[in-house]
Chains A and B, each alone.
Chain A
Amino acid sequence: MYAVEVERLTKIYGKGETTVTAIADATLRVKPGELVAILGPSGSGKTTLLTSIGLINEPTHGRVIIDDTTVADEGWLPGLDLKRIRREKLGFIFQAHNLIPFLTAQENVMVALEINNLTRNNAKVRATELLNSLNLGHRLGSYPSVLSGGEAQRVAIARALANRPKVILADEPTAALDTENGKNVMNLLKKLAVENRSAILVVTHDHRMVEGFDRIFHVSDGRITNEKQRVEAGGTHGLG
């Protein structure tokens, strides 16, 4: 039913006197094909929420369910292969594109497929397809250092999509881009949510970037303060 369920999630960093409660009692549910934004100022706990869902950060309390599998309930569930769930069900997009500098655009996508046991040839075919569909057909052999910011972020998106994940987690994917490229990336994510039936959670502090999202969770001081249903969908082409 849900791609992601988070129930009363709390994350406390540190121990003893110097603890920071980065996320407190957060509850949210995202369906396949839904595009949601997590909006809030810097330091409000957005990244913590995202990485807790992404099996990178162990939640202190509460439950996380990915694609009907409970992964955390008062801490990780024992016996889980977190890496495997990450590579099979999750796709990550970051602020900095995080491409591997010594791999070409094509290889950066292929590596995600090959660690998921795709043969080299199949990986190559799929990577090429993906990059073509993101208008990067002419950049297959280029190294990240020669790609523009927008191109690099699209390669990163291709890598996140490679294994057809149920959930895509994007942390400030437009922060390093100019407004136009930022809008393009957001539009691309919207399109992918619909086409791939993935749940897409996008963290951002820039409210101008979230138009057309299905829902918006406002976060401040570690709490989800407000959940907005889609009110306006200002078209898929950036109206400033």
Chain B
Amino acid sequence: MNLALRDIRYHRGRFILTAIGLGLLIGVVISMGGIYRGLFADALAVFDSTKADIWVVQQETNGPFAENSRIPEDIKYRIQAVPGVAEASPLSFQTIQIERLGKPFRFFLIGYDPNGFGGPPEIIAGRNIRQKHYEMVVAEAMGKELGEKIHLGLNDYTVVGITGKVVSSGGDPAAYVSLADAQEIQFKKDNNAIRNDRERIAANLAGLQTLSPTQSKFLQQNITGITESTHTVNTIVARLAPGADLREVQERISRWNHFRPISAEEQTRILTKGMIEKARMQLGLFRLILLVISAVIISLIIYTSTIDKIKVIATLKLIGAQNRVIIGMILQQSLLMGVIAYAIGYVLILLTYEKFPRRIVLEAFDLQALFVIVIAICTISSFVGIRKALKVEPAEALGG
């Protein structure tokens, strides 16, 4: 006869409530782990979907995610010409905030060259961008339908495709437009500012007495070009040809001034170590604290349930029950509590994790490790109860 199960059957209300409470706690621990993993996945989402070997950014920056980086778009031709580079493509990034249902809504706009790479990693509905202008592919999380129009800058952009879970490192959903459109949204939306710039520079030039009228006119024309130049991007990504040596290619690019070639490995480090380090530590610590709390609660539950059973344990000893009967009763109950609470927590998160505002990534390893930890906590906690139980004297069964 299994005494642990009989006791649970008799006190099922209490047991179920306790298991649910513990299950919620374990659910929070699981979701913490998932958020922790999600943080990585989010931080690396654009990086991963680009599948570039080298990220060429402005010198002395950790761009384009951690720091602002600006480089001319036409550098891509020079990079493409570097031996060992198979292809190079420009990318631009900007965070855009729009008004949606009366609330601010932020998303991450990626401009890419439809003839290059770095575009949507997959199309789960609709199609990819085909025209040079006014088409858009959005991440699922944008909550947009195919055919919907979004007004950005001076124009309307039509959603032609939906992609998966691409987000900025801050967790904002991503949208893709052609590079030309992205530049237009970024630079042309403020015509007044450009006009002001142009006038300010022209006025300065006009004040320079040393210039001849011809020189002055020539400069003015060029300044218009400079201030209106929208051919700036945040990074140029490159893929290596098979067998090419990463170091060599990096060195070649480094030799030109003004550009820094960041390898995929370095970029991963910048994204995961630098950018989310604090959040990561915070979550890790939080998770640890929750585990300690769970351990304390489980110990308390088992200890009190043992105290409740002192008389039962004394009676069992008196009628000659072996220690294993008593240890088994406490240990099995504790383990059962752990397993059921874990199952409740797991199912809870499984049913809800997609509804969390930030990405939750449930990794089999994390789940298994937590299960092992929960079982270990239950086993260790039950030692407290078992120790108490083994000290109970059969004589305690006597008397009122």
Contacts and interface: CB of A to CB of B under 8 A. Distances in A.
A214 interface: no
The listed residue with most A CB atoms (<10 A of its CB), out of B317, B394, B398, is: B398
Interface string B333-353: 000000000000000000000
A194 interface: no
Interface string A116-135: 10001001000000000000
B319 A87 contact: yes
A83 B312 contact: no
Contact of A96 (B325, B394, B400): B400
A106 to B, nearest CB: 10
B38 to A, nearest CB: 44
B1 interface: yes
B136 to A, nearest CB: 65
Contact of A101 (B312, B316, B319, B322): B312
B356 interface: no
Nearest to B10: A102
Nearest to A115: B321
B398 A159 contact: no
A217 interface: no
Contacts of A51: 395, 398
B268 interface: no
B318 interface: yes
A51 B394 CA distance: 10
Interface in B262-307: none
Nearest to A120: B1
A83 B318 CA distance: 8
Interface in A100-150: 100-103, 107, 110-112, 114-116, 120, 123, 143
Contacts of A123: 1
10 contacts: A51-B398, A98-B315, A98-B318, A98-B397, A100-B315, A102-B9, A102-B10, A111-B1, A111-B319, A112-B319
A100 B318 contact: no
The listed residue with most A CB atoms (<10 A of its CB), out of B1, B316, B322, B395, is: B1
B207 interface: no
Interface residues of A, number: 33
Interface string A67-90: 000000000000000011111101
A84 B320 contact: yes
A87 B10 contact: no
A84 B7 CA distance: 25
B143 interface: no
Given A86-B320, A115-B321, A115-B325, A94 B6 contact: no
Contacts of B311: 98
A100 B398 contact: no
The listed residue with most B CB atoms (<10 A of its CB), out of A102, A112, A120, is: A102
A177 to B, nearest CB: 14
Nearest to A97: B315
Interface in B188-206: none
B7 A114 contact: no
Given A87-B321, A111-B3, A159-B319, A101 B398 contact: no
Contacts, number: 78
A56 interface: yes
A52 to B, nearest CB: 11
A5 interface: no
> 8 closest A-B pairs (Cβ-Cβ)?
A87-B320, A102-B10, A86-B320, A102-B7, A83-B320, A115-B321, A98-B315, A56-B394
B103 interface: no
Interface of A: 47, 51, 54, 56-57, 83-88, 90, 92, 94-96, 98, 100-103, 107, 110-112, 114-116, 120, 123, 143, 159, 171
Interface residues of B, number: 25
A84 to B, nearest CB: 7
Nearest to A55: B394
Contacts of B397: 94, 98
B228 to A, nearest CB: 84
B355 interface: no
Nearest to A100: B312
Contacts of B322: 83, 115
Contact of A115 (B7, B319, B395, B400): B319
A88 B320 contact: yes
A94 B3 CA distance: 22
A171 B394 CA distance: 14
Contacts of B151: none
B1 A110 contact: yes
B312 A116 contact: no
A90 B9 CA distance: 30
Contacts of A100: 3, 312, 315-316
Contacts of B11: 102
A92 B317 CA distance: 11
A114 B324 CA distance: 13
B242 interface: no
The listed residue with most B CB atoms (<10 A of its CB), out of A84, A100, A143, is: A100
B399 interface: yes
Interface string B358-400: 0000000000000000000000000000000000011101111
A125 to B, nearest CB: 14
A96 B314 CA distance: 13
A86 B398 contact: no
A120 B6 CA distance: 14
Given A95-B400, A120-B1, 18 more contacts: A51-B395, A56-B394, A56-B395, A85-B320, A87-B319, A87-B320, A96-B400, A98-B315, A98-B397, A100-B312, A100-B315, A102-B9, A102-B10, A102-B11, A103-B6, A111-B316, A111-B319, A123-B1
